[in-house]
Structure 1
Amino acid sequence: MADTNDGRSFKRRDQLLEMEHEVRKWWDECQVFNAEANEQPPKEGDKFFGTFPFPYMNGYLHLGHAFSLSKLEFAGAYHRLRGANVLLPFGFHCTGMPIKASADKLRREIERFGNPPSFPSETDEIIIEPEVKPEDNNSQPDKFKGKKSKAASKTGKETYQWEIMRGYGLSDTEIATFQDPVQWLRFFPPLAVEDLKAFGLGADWRRSFITTDINPYFDSFVRWQMRKLKSMGKIVKDLRYTIYSPLDGQPCADHDRASGEGVIPQEYTLIKMEVVPPFPTKFGFLEGKKVYLAAATLRPETMYGQTNAWVLPDGKYGAFEINDSEVFILTERAARNLAYQHLSRVPEKHTCLVELTGQDLIGLPLKSPLSFNEIIYCLPMLSVLTDKGTGIVTSVPSDSPDDFMALQDLKSKAPFRAKFGIKDEWVLPFEVIPIISHPEFGDKSAEKICTDMKIKSQNEREKLDAAKKVIYKGGFYEGTMIAGEHSGLRVQDAKTLIRTKLLEANQAVVYSEPEKKVMSRSGDECVVALTDQWYLTYGESTWRKLAEECLEEMNLYSDETRHGFEHTLSWLNQWACSRSFGLGTRIPWDEEFLVESLSDSTIYMAYYTVCHFLQKGELFGSDTSSVNPQQLTDEVWDYLFLSGPEPESSIPLTLLRKMKREFEYWYPVDLRVSGKDLIQNHLTFAIYNHTAIFPKRHWPRGFRCNGHIMLNSEKMSKSTGNFRTLKQAIEEFSADATRFSLADAGDGMDDANFVFETANAAILRLTKERVWMEEVLGAESSLRVGPSSCYADRVFANEINFAVKTTEKNYGEYMFREALKSGFYDLQAARDEYRFSCGSYGMNRDLLWRFMDVQTRLIAPICPHYSEYVWKKLLKKEGFVIKAGWPEAENPDLTLQMANRYLQESISNFRKLLVKQSSGGSKKGKNNTTPQSKPTIGLIYVNEQYDGWKKECLNILRSKFDVQKCQFAPDQEILQALQQSVIGEEGNFKQTQKLCMPFMRFKKDEVITLGVQALDLRLPFGEIEVLQENLELVKRQIGLEHVEILSASDGDSVAKAGRHGSLLKQTPPSPGSPTSIFLTKEDMA
């Protein structure tokens, strides 16, 4: 086969690829994954309906998609193997702005640089359109080779869209067609289908579809959904604050962002601190207007304690027109946000009348609302942030450790004042004003905590942050106002009243900005805009209670996932569901707008159940021969999904009834698998929308969330090249080795790790196992026949039963890494041990057949191609392994398993001791050296019952174990019983404790796995009997001619050790720990 440049052969991988291709042909011929609803409603466990959030189609599928999807695929395959009727449909999402934005970007490049384009070299002075590097490369699947053009690499700029498309392997002629957004929809989804088929996804492809109004059937479904929600009052139109992209001219939802997913608007109160005339020369021309320093605060109730305002001395500010008479001084970033909140003379345009620095503002006299000081001054503070709030900060040193220390620095350090030209009268007369009584730190809480923490200056950042956290929390939630008209009121109650008064008096305005930086996929920094738009009333109390009720009854498979949903429900509200740019379905009653991409994807799982009747297996809904999309009225959808009356429709009633039965059979969704990042939007939206539209019996049953995938312990990144598309992974490793490594990558909410070495090892393991089975089957006549009789047979049969039961539990809990371990790794280890244990006696044919049958089924959900090939080609079984049924197994004998572990560990210990003894050197005399004879005889001494201090420890544990509750008394009580026991009263108790406690902890742990029998004075099996029955194995494993198993309590047996009998006193045997003595023939002479 073809070799790589470094000489590695692809022969084994190619064998797997050939097998996979052949197996998929078998599946396709028999349409094994097509799922049909039965006539009778399903009983619990009869059906399994699993879904996966449809991926966005602006590029190829990658291993990040495959990792999350594998969890659903493994779960569905497990249920199918058990005999359930399994439906795994798969659709493709095209709604939203990324495709349209990429198509438009490509069109602009062609307009500027030609077709094909001739891009500028690095020396050309060309302004390149900004391109944002996303924080999460998984969310932007349009660059994956980690290669930039020469110019882009040297300038650090992103590549052009044309170059991105070249990275997909497209020709220049093909790339030009992607100026049309529809081409993306026609090109990528069919390729995704092929990649997923090659992956072995057990999907019913008849039910696949794409979104947007290009698909008239799905378009009709979404319109029905939106009308239904509006009729319920769940969609309303109003002014609201939302994250907004000025470049795109519309709200920027999570899926429209290059960075900042999950960021929401942060609302402030903007305090209008009036600048007292006359104005400085630099903005003296503003005389006659009201000029304010606009300070953003989250604590308007503290304004009574203002002593000054803070600015960053070298910060950049400006005077911006708010209306005809008012000017705000603040940062340009804040002014840009205000312009989209109806706070600019020219809507959506911030007008700067003069640029200023913080130094220009120092010393300005101010009149500030609620302040007890008639005039305060603007002063410098070195820690003011200009990328948060407005860059103007009010100073309340009574309750802010930062303000207190900054003011103290100015008061106590004359050189510091001189540096910034600060007059004494701007600072020295101003004292701390008590306004809040803090339960712990009094009425000057900032001063008190700074003193307690020994904070010396405003530069001690860590200490100040810690102090602020303590003061703010205690002051707000437990503090009491002691100043102003609301004196005596709790602070948290007074806040709203004081804020309302400031707003009504026009002494403040509402201001909002993104709580963190948000970049749109178009490359601009987003603002918060006050927009008149359609939005879903998530968070409304009655609706939220329904969502919480649904969540309460769902299986979420981890506490972390549940906490994530509970947190999201606690803050989520008012989600904008309309957009003016991109692709999608039009708002039915306001067709100027499109349905936002996260709002058309909340209940589409219901559409899967009837899609194949409407679209007839065609992705785009262009075959209208069965049902015309215009026939799908709201009455039809109500009948299909909401038990509405039979509609007056030209659609045949028999077809309507069939579709309705299909929905009623499959719904609700049993499992939806997703990355954890969708908890805060898509998955929670799905809960909300299901509870609004569907009756309780159709609410989702379970969501399973996982972390992201890393490649070889590093973040998957297109920019670094540490990235694989799904197709690349399959070509490099094969589908089953890829699936094997995905299963091994991890199951929890933490980020998992896809290791190339694991995938390569899987190739070797699977192909070697196939060869071994072929050899066994080819030499079947030489195998031992008849019932399983020897000890090794019983142990191996027991290990198979254990693997069946344990793997069933692991699959059932969707712990696929553990299922891989118990159903493949551990089972193969048991087989290898069996091969060696049988020795000349030979392996049992029926037992090996059972092993091959069981292993093939247990690994089938993870490696279905391999298992199917083995099932048909090697084992010559009928039907398909993917539907063969879960293997039957008796409950494993845990005592036998324990006995075998004892046997194997004992042999290992014997071998290590013998090696150590044999390499102990020579017998040396004064003048000669005599080589030491090699031991050939082994005496194994067993003590089958605990005695001495261990017996006393077990008696104590038994007395402190509650059989009914299956739990031990507290450790302190056990320790006290030990101290009062016979061994505890002898000598130094600390030494006794050091000796006994490790043994007692070990025995307590054994109780968890073995039950209370672990506290018996004897092991649950006969040690001498086990060793005696496996005497030949012991001899063969440690390489001795003669071995005897002896009782340490029998005097005649002890005498056989002769002069070596002292070893039995030095290392006395105890239950589970035999003592071995190795002798030479000379020793026995």
Structure 2
Amino acid sequence: MAEEGGKSFARRDRLLEIEAKARNWWEEKQVFRAESCEKPPGPGEKFFGNFPFPYMNGFLHLGHAFSLSKLEFAAAYHRLRGANVLLPFAFHCTGMPIKASADKLTREIQQFGEPPVFPEKVEKGNEEVEVEAEDVNAGAPPAKHKGKKSKAASKSGGEVYQWEIMRSFGLSDSDISKFQDPYKWLTYFPPLAVEDLKAFGLGCDWRRSFITTDMNPFFDAFVRWQVRKLKSMGKIVKDLRYTIYSPMDGQPCADHDRSSGEGVQPQEYTVIKMELMAPFPPKLGVLEGRKVFLAAATLRPETMYGQTNAWVLPDGKYGAFEINETDVFILTQRAARNLAYQKYSRVPEKPTCLVELTGYDLIGLPLKSPLALNEIIYALPMLTVLTDKGTGIVTSVPTDSPDDYMALHDLKSKPAFRAKYGVKDEWVLPFENIPIIDIPGFGNNAAEKVCAELKIKSQNEKEKLAEAKRLTYLKGFNEGTMILGEFKGRKVQEVKPLIRSKLIEAGEAISYSEPEKRVLSRSGDECVVALTDQWYITYGETEWKKLAEECLSGMNLYSDETRHGFEHTLSWLNQWACSRSFGLGTRIPWDEEFLVESLSDSTIYMAYYTIAHFLHNGDMYGSSKSAIKPEQMTDEVWDYVFCDGPYPKSSEISSSILSKMKQEFEYWYPFDLRVSGKDLIQNHLTFCIYNHTAIMSKKHWPRGFRCNGHIMLNAQKMSKSTGNFRTIRQAIDEFSADATRFSLADAGDGVDDANFAFDTANAAILRLTKEISWTEEVLGAESSLRTGPPTTYADRVFANEINIAVNRTEQNYSGYMFREALKTGFYDLQAARDEYRFSCGDGGMNRDLVWRFMDVQTRLITPICPHYGEYVWKELLKKDGFVVNAGWPLADAPDLTLQSANKYLQESIILMRKLLQKQVLGSKKGNKKGTPVTVLTEDHNLTGLIYVNEHFDGWKAECLKILQINFNRDGRTFSSDKVMQEALQKSSIGQSKDFRQIQKLCMPFMKFKKDEAIAIGAQALDLKLPFGEIEVLQENLDLIKRQLGLQEVEILSATNPDALSKAGSLVKLLEQNPPAPGSPTAIFLTW
């Protein structure tokens, strides 16, 4: 539609028409099909790039498009350069999200009918859900997006019905019911994703596409081979260990299984068993005869010698939970739930609460605590105890914990506070700090010292207490020395594990883990940490880790921040649970009760791309007839193709196909670039490194990862609940593919979050369509263009600007800096064209240069806007072949001196215009102070006298000579200011009687020139510019006249007395504003 809501969309619609035409051309000639060659590729002759396959539980969104665009632009650039390019794409369906969503539909139908009639709820607000670059919750509706909240998002309390989500995808109620079958999702969303990516202009070899899971028998065989190989190498083992776990799903919950809490790991505590002394209070009478403990979680068991009390939250909810036949722990229900999955519950995985309690019930309980020098301590109220961290019971060591010190101080110093909570004096007042650790700079009573220094007055000063903890906590652990107990005289970090082990071995403590932060599974279940016996990949194993570090050291990561992210991940990553009992995927071959989890079947599938077209015959599901059957892809065949294994003599696959598959892999591998959101550094990308080093030879290890931040829309987080969200399909409908790609390129290139601006996309529509119109107009009036060689000054400058654009854009594309490539290859080049068009004046533009501009401009923008480029190339310029592989434009080395001369010319015209306006306004307003500027009127003819001084002289020349001597060209650094000040004093300037006055001028001038030299190099310190200023201005008199509206212009030397005399009485203007190299002064006269 050309009209929508009163607005014209004709320009966008024209781009959409052009895009459809270009895609048809590419499809007809299979432009993006990639074939290997028998001869191994030389450097730069091939490019294999890939992207983490997106999860197929919805439509692809702009978060996917942003990361993908980085790969697409890179691949398109290499294709344009003449490389043989492979860009494949596949679809991830492994794991639990699809199965969980399908099961949720079934539950909703059972509960609310079919179609379900959901209860109406009052809207209370919506929780914003950030969409990450690789969020497995894919996009929302394909229809026009109006920026309103969806029905699904408008439910209160954050509850979202799966049926409503499916409706938001544009599905009818009759169709939605079919999605109770998880495999329906696999046949529905991947083909739609292909449609969207084709519309986006992705230069993909679609023959190599596939889905994961056992629905694809070829990929299923590939994953089975991979895990069998890892197991045979001892890299998959069965072990008992802590892992994030979903009780509802009954299995570990890895990053891709989570709706929130990605990257969260188990946090291990020591739970101190603080035994309750008899007699028990009436509320706890039912526990008589049992051993009852307040279970306090701590990260610092070595400080237990200094316990003075335990802390509870007065209005916190607690319970007495049955741990075994004799022991009862008092703690929060949340902690008891975690413990129940760590074999600390009488009924496994089901915490049994014997008595429900509040913190008030616990205040004053007498306790005997392990290692404490105080024989009996008491439970006391603390207002800042967290019940969503640890156990809700905190042991107090006021010598080393600022929080403990201030809370105890409050109780001791405020009788009213004690009375409020019924705290008896004998529970508090007798207890003094017990020094246990000496910390350099803080002594043996660190908490008291730091609280005094920070002037903390109460336990409610949270920010100050956080700072106090920051100052003392790690320093105490890293540098502290024990001054009490069995390990007196030894370093804290050395004895901590020893004390912990002794406590656990003595039965006075247990090991306890919980998620570092809250984790929700895709089923909506709050996860726990469970001690599970299952299959693990042994990431972190010493020798394997060394190989991973070696691989990383040889990779191009394009960012120090990215490298640091990988190094950090390698430092902590340990065993990874690779088996699941719920969801979709490939069965573990030797233990088919379990599935291979979603981050473990996706580590080396990039190799699968190289031969997928032999297996699939164009069918992503692997169900079409091909020359190879799934059962023929044996471990021996996979080894032969990917691992330099022996020829599989018993294979039924023909030797020619086997050889061709091996050739494909050897040609394309290793892959050159993998582009991803930075959130995958901590799992998938690091797993990719590990698995390649284990399974493949060193020559096939990955060459490069490029990681980016997340995408925002209009400087706000992408959020379905607020409506600030777009699928790829919606963005193309709204802006066109090329305008969307344009805005994605402009969004940013670093690892920080980038911004997709709708204004940029709309401006791109206008820019691209106007450029098409300009090209059509120029070609329609080609006969009016100036013929012959391009010899004028404007010609030379424009030709040079084209060369500069080619060279700089090549540098930006090759460094994958696409925003800069857009600037140098489009914005700057267009500005140069517009400047050239004006500079030519009546003489007109040179035909050869205009054709060169149109050719170069089209090629440079093609990686970002390929449909536009292809249309201009074929339809307007009538070129043969396709622009996408037309070759990078040839260009001479840029003439930087000519560029500087033109910059000087343009800046001089701007400066002269300001002087002209000042003189005209000065004459109108009157000049009450100083010499009259001049007398100008706008209705008289104007003459400009432009005075030039091409050399620095006097004190400026002396300053520059000093700067030259003290400048390090390699590092672009200067000697100290003191050294240069001494040199200035010893110079001829320093010897003059008016030095002090001149010095006031010297210092700011030298600072300006220092800054300029640091920015552009030593040429900033030259005594003259690298070109003749008079010559440049003289050659452009016509341009100066037209730009300033002058009838006559003279270029004069400020050092020529005869020239100065022409200024007459206005020569004082030159004294007020003396010309200097790069800064001419103009005087304007009327006649």
Structure 1 length as normaliser, TM-score?
0.96
Aligned pairs (5 A) from 1:963-1002: 963=969, 967-984=973-990, 995-1002=1001-1008
Please say if residues 134 and 259 of structure 1, whose CA atoms lie closer than 8 Å, have aligned partners that are also in contact. Answer: no
Find the residue that maps to 2:176 and give its secondary structure. helix
CA distance, structure 1, for counterparts of residue 610 and residue 155 of structure 2: 52
The percentage of counterpart residues that share the same residue type is 74
Quick one: structure 1 residues 218 and 976, their matched pair in 2 at CA, closer, same or farther if it must change by over 3 Å?
A: farther
Aligned to 1:346: 347
State how far apart, in whole Å, the 2-side matches of 1:393 and 1:879 are: 74
In the other structure, the counterpart of 1:69 is 68
**Number of the residue aligned with 2:256:** 255
Offset at 1:1006? Answer: 4.4
Once the two structures are superposed, residues 479-504 of structure 1 have per-residue CA deviations (whole angstroms, 9 ceiling, x without a partner) of: 11111111111111111111110010
Residue identity in the other structure for 1:825: Y
Q: Is the partner of 1:240 in helix, strand or coil?
A: strand
> Match for residue 877 of structure 2?
875
**Aligned mates of 2:599, 2:334 — CA distance in 1:** 28
Determine if contact 1:143/1:719 at 8 Å carries over to the other structure.
no
Q: Match for residue 367 of structure 1?
A: 368
Deviation (angstroms), 1:380: 1.0
Give a deviation string over 1:786-811, Cα, whole Å, max 9, x none: 11111000000000000000000000
Which residues in structure 2 correspond to 1:284-683 (within 5 Å)? 284-647=285-648, 648-683=650-685
- C-alpha distance in 2, partners of 1:971/1:53? 53
Indicate if the aligned counterparts of 1:240 and 1:530 stay in contact, CA closer than 8 A: yes
Distance 1:1024 1:477, change over 3 A: same
Following superposition, the deviation at residue 307 of structure 1 comes to 1.1
- Measure, in 1, the Cα distance between the counterparts of 2:1061 and 2:936: 28
**Kept in 2: contact 1:149–1:159 (CA 8 A):** no
C-alpha contact 1:921 1:932 (8 A) present in aligned 2:
no
Q: Cα gap change, 1:990/1:249 in structure 2, threshold over 3 Å: closer, same or farther?
A: farther
For 1:240 and 1:658, locate their aligned partners in 2 and report how far apart those are by CA, in whole Å: 44
CA contact (8 A) 2:311 2:379 kept: yes
Q: Does 1:944 align with 2:950?
A: yes
Q: 1:361 to 1:651 in 2, by over 3 A?
A: same
- The residue type equivalent to 1:968 in the other structure is F
Give 3-state SS (helix, strand or coil) of 1:1043's partner. Answer: strand
Deviation at 1:884, TM superposition (A): 0.8
1:1046, CA displacement in angstroms? Answer: 0.7
Task: Please point out which of 1062, 1078, 1082 is paired with 1:1076.
Answer: 1082
What's the secondary structure of 2:7's corresponding residue? Answer: coil
Matched residue pairs, number?
A: 1073
Quick one: which amino acid aligns to residue 381 of structure 1?
M
Superposed CA offset, 1:880-916 (max 9, x none): 1111111111111101000001111111121222223
Give the alignment partner of residue 840 of structure 1, picking from 839, 842, 855.
Answer: 842
Superposition deviation, residue 345 in structure 1:
0.3
Q: Which residue pairs with 1:114 in the alignment?
A: 113
Q: Counterpart of 1:78? A: 77
**Which of 813, 820, 842 in structure 2 is aligned with 1:811?**
813
The residue aligned with 2:961 is: 955
SS of residue paired to 1:83: coil
How many angstroms apart in 2 are the aligned matches of 1:916 and 1:456?
63
Q: Report the 3-state secondary structure (helix = DSSP H, G, I; strand = E; otherwise coil) of the residue aligned with 2:989.
A: coil
Q: How far apart are residue 105 of structure 1 and its match?
A: 0.8
Change in Cα spacing, 1:142 to 1:791, as seen in structure 2 (3 Å) is closer
Q: Distance in 2 between matches of 1:1003 and 1:897?
A: 20
Look up the match of 1:1030. Answer: 1036
Question: 1-side partners of 2:938 and 2:218: how far apart?
Answer: 89
Partner of 1:140: 137
Please list the CA deviations of residues 248-296 of structure 1 after superposition, one character each: whole Å capped at 9, or x if unmatched. 1111111111111110000000000000111110011111110000000
Equivalent residue number for residue 930 of structure 2: none
CA distance 1:1008–1:453, change in 2 (3 Å): closer
Provide the rounded CA distance (Å) in 1 between the counterparts of 2:111 and 2:231: 44
Deviation at 1:785, TM superposition (A): 0.9
Cα deviation, residue 922, structure 1: 4.8
CA distance in 2: counterparts of 1:184 and 1:309, whole angstroms: 53
The equivalent of 2:727 in structure 1 is 725
- CA deviations 1:826-846 (Å, max 9, x no partner) are 001000000010111111100
Q: Which residue of 2 aligns with 1:740?
A: 742
Residues 234-245 of structure 1 aligned to structure 2 (within 5 Å): 234-245=235-246
Q: 1:1050 aligns with which of 1045, 1056, 1069?
A: 1056
Q: Secondary structure at the match of 2:807?
A: helix
* Residues 644-653 or 444-453, more deviating: 444-453
Match of 1:87 in 2: 86
Moved more, 432-441 or 36-45: 432-441
Aligned pair in 2 of structure 1 residues 717, 140: CA closer, same or farther (>3 Å)? same
Alignment-mate amino acid for residue 881 of structure 2: G
- Give per-residue Cα distances to partners, 1:68-125, cap 9 Å, x unaligned: 000000000000000100000000000011101111111111222222222233499x
Give, as a single letter, the amino acid of the residue that structure 2 aligns with 1:587. I
CA contact (8 A) 2:153 2:721 kept: no
Counterparts of 1:7-46 in structure 2 under 5 Å? 7-46=6-45
Q: Tell me the residue number matched to 1:893.
A: 895
Q: 2:139, 2:727 within 8 Å by CA — same for their partners in 1?
A: no
Structure 2: stretches of 5+ with no match in the other structure: 928-934
Question: Within 2, Cα distance between the matches of 1:59 and 1:994?
Answer: 68
Instruction: Select between 108-117 and 1055-1064 the one with higher mean Cα deviation.
Output: 108-117
Alignment of 1:901-916 (within 5 A): 901-916=903-918
CA separation of 1:985/1:411 partners in 2, compared to 1, >3 Å: closer, same or farther?
farther
2:781 to 776, 779, 782: 779
| Amino acid corresponding to residue 448 of structure 1 in structure 2 | K
1:135 Cα offset (Å): 5.2
Map 1:843-862 onto structure 2 (within 5 A): 843-862=845-864
Q: What are the equivalent positions in structure 2 for 1:912-931 lying under 5 Å apart?
A: 912-922=914-924
User: How far apart are 1:998 and its partner, in Å?
Assistant: 4.0
CA spacing shift, 1:1020–1:1010, aligned 2, 3 Å: farther
| Aligned residues of 2:539 and 2:576 also touching (Cα < 8 A) | yes
Residue 61 of structure 2 is aligned to residue 59 of structure 1: no
Deviations 1:413-461 (A, max 9, x none): 2222222212222112211111111122222222222233332222222
Q: Which amino acid aligns with 1:378?
A: A
User: For residue 175 of structure 2, what is the aligned residue in structure 1?
Assistant: 174
Post-superposition CA distance 1:940-968 (Å, at most 9, x none): 11111111221111111111124566643
Task: Give the distance between the partners of 1:988 and 1:684, measured in 2 at CA.
Answer: 68
Task: Give the C-alpha shift of residue 1044 in structure 1.
Answer: 0.6
Give the Cα–Cα distance (whole angstroms) in 2 for the partners of residues 85 and 1023 of structure 1: 48
Two-structure CA RMSD over aligned residues (Å):
2.1
Distance 1:148 1:1075 in 2: 61
* CA distance 1:963–1:104, shift in 2 (3 Å): closer
C-alpha change, 1:671 and 1:997, in structure 2 (3 Å) is farther
Tell me which amino acid in the other structure corresponds to 1:241: Y
The 1:208–1:103 alpha-carbon spacing in structure 2 relative to 1, beyond 3 Å, is same
CA contact (8 A) 1:935 1:1078 kept: no
Corresponding residue for residue 716 of structure 1? 718
Residues 132 and 521 of structure 1 are in contact (CA less than 8 Å); yes or no, is this contact kept in structure 2? Answer: no
350-359 or 409-418, which moves further after superposition?
409-418
Structure 1 residues 304 and 768, CA gap change in structure 2 (3 angstroms): same
Q: Distance in 2 between matches of 1:393 and 1:989?
A: 72
Which whole-Å deviations, capped at 9, do the CAs of 1:568-622 have from their partners, x for residues lacking one?
A: 1111111111111110001111110111001100000000001000111111010
Is 460-469 or 75-84 further displaced after alignment? Answer: 460-469
Q: Work out the CA distance in 1 between the residues paired with 2:198 and 2:990.
A: 69
Task: Indicate the SS of the match to 2:372.
Answer: coil
Would the alpha carbon gap of residues 993 and 492 (structure 1) be closer, same or farther in structure 2, given more than 3 Å must change? farther
Range that drifts further, 777-786 or 812-821: 777-786
Q: Once the two structures are superposed, what CA deviation does each residue of 1:292-334 show, in whole Å capped at 9, x if it has no partner?
A: 0000000111111111111111111000000011000000010
* Deviations 1:994-1046, CA, capped at 9 Å, x for gaps: 53344334434544566433322111111111111111111111111111111
Structure 1 residue ranges without an equivalent (≥5) = none
Aligned to 1:218, the other structure's residue is in SS state helix
2-side partners of 1:996 and 1:78: how far apart? 49
